Amino acid sequence: MKVAGIGFRESATAADLQAALALTGLQVDALASVAAKAKTPAMQEFARATGLPVIALQEQDIAGEQTLTCSPRIKARFGTGSLAEAAALAGARHGETGATSRLLAPRVVTADGLATAAIAERLEP
């Protein structure tokens, strides 16, 4: 299972989220973000437009997740270097006890900086 971790600023639109996912160049089976972002109109519209389910993660699900990239702002807020990468990794393992995951595409950022995406896949235990 491949999961896109999505991070975005409050002003981002569904089109911004789509642009971030497009930058990865990969197809995915689901979207993931922290619950507060997963419930936003932009994420819900994006999910409807793509037909993908959204995995709503708790902040503790991503805290401490080892990421390839690091934003000091995200590190201070969520306890991980990249919301998109951490959400992708945690989302890919979601609901599968003992599963591991790996990044296929590290965080990419839209040109306007409003949205980020990263892709991870679940590895069998």
Could you report the per-residue pLDDT of 43-63, keeping only the tens digit for each?
Answer: 999 999 999 999 999 999 999
Name the amino acid, one letter, at 51. Answer: G
75-117 pLDDT per residue, tens: 999 999 999 999 999 999 998 888 899 999 999 999 999 999 9
Region of residue 111 (phi > 0: left; psi between -120 and 50: alpha; otherwise: beta): alpha
Q: The pTM is what?
A: 0.95
CATH number at residue 97: 3.30.420.180
Cα dist. 44→4, 40, 72, 94 in Å?
Answer: 14, 6, 27, 19
Boundaries of domain holding 100? 2-123
CA–CA separation, 20 and 15 (whole Å): 9
Overall domain count for the chain: 1
Residue 125: pLDDT band by 50, 70, 90 thresholds? low
Pairing state of beta strands 100-109 and 115-123?
Answer: antiparallel
